[in-house]
Amino acid sequence: MAKLKVLPKVIPIRNKEQTKAKLIEAVGRVMADVGFQRLGVNLVAREAGVDKKLIYRYFNGLPKLVAAYGQTIDFWPDAAELLGSDQETIRHMPPDKLLALFFKRYLRAILSRPMTLEILAWEALERNELTVGLEEVRVRTALEFFELMETDPNDEVDLTALVLIMAGAMNFLAVRSRIHKTLGGVDLQSKEGWQRIDRTVEQLMNVVLTDG
C-alpha cells in the first residue's frame, strides 16, 4: 500500500495576521509590566493566549517581535503625527521655531502613551539587544522630521548634541510625571504646568539657535 504523504498544515492568512497582532500587542503589555530582564517568550505567549512556538515561526524570536512592536503607532509617534497637516509651514520655519515645535509635539505624543512611558522607565535601568531595536525607531522618527529643515542652524551649534539633550529632558519629565505630581515646583499633572515647559522650550531654542 502506498504511504500517504503528510502535507504541512496551512495556516489561513487571516488567522496568521490576527495571531501576529496579538503577539505584538502582548509584548508591549508585558514589557511595560515587567521590563526587559524578565521579558521572555513564555510570558508573552501566555499574555497573547497562543503557543510560544508561534513567536519563532512568525518573528524568528523575541528581538524581532519587540522590534515589530516598536514600529507600531501605539508605541511611538511617527513623523506624520508630529508634522500634522502643516508640513509646508514647518518646512519654512527657522530652526529655533522648528525645533521648539518638534519637542512640544514630541512631549505631548509620548505623554499620551502610558505604556510607552512605562517602557521608557525600564529602558533607563537597562540596555540590551531588545532596547536597541526600540531606540532605532525613535532615531528614524526624529530624522524624518528634521529632514524638513531648510535652514541650517549656526555652525557653532552642535545640533546632534542639542537634540540629544532635549530628547533626554523630555523623556525624563514625561516618565517622572507618572509618579510625581510636581517636580522642582512645576506641576507635571496639569495643563498649566506643561504650558510652562512649552514656553521654556521656546525660549531655550531661541537663545541657542538665534543671534537674538
Domain edges within the chain: 13-70, 79-209
| Residue whose cell numbers read 507600531 | 72
pLDDT for 153 equals: 81
Q: What is the CB-side half-sphere exposure of residue 49 using CA atoms within 13 A?
A: 5
Q: 159-182, pLDDT tens digit by residue?
A: 889 999 999 999 999 999 999 999
Percentage, residues of the chain above pLDDT 90: 62
Measured distance CA(82)–CA(37) in Å, rounded: 31
Question: Is 185 in a helix, a strand, or coil?
Answer: coil
**Buried/exposed 190-199: b ≥16 CB within 10 Å, e otherwise:** eeebbeebbe
Residue 117 · residue 28 · CB < 8 Å: no
Per-residue pLDDT tens over the stretch 138-157: 888 888 888 877 877 888 88
Contact criterion met (CB below 8 Å) for 126 and 134: no
Higher-scoring residue by pLDDT: 145, 59: 59
Q: Which three cell numbers stand for residue 41?
A: 517568550
Q: Coil, helix or strand for 90?
A: helix
In this structure, the number of other CB atoms found within 10 A of the CB of residue 121 comes to 17
Task: Say how far apart CA 145 and CA 90 lie, in whole Å.
Answer: 9
User: Which amino acid makes up residue 159?
Assistant: L
Fold for domain 13-70? Tetracycline Repressor; domain 2 (1.10.357)
Residue 85 confidence (pLDDT): 80
149 backbone dihedrals φ, ψ, rounded to 5°: -65, 110
Q: What is the pTM of this model?
A: 0.85
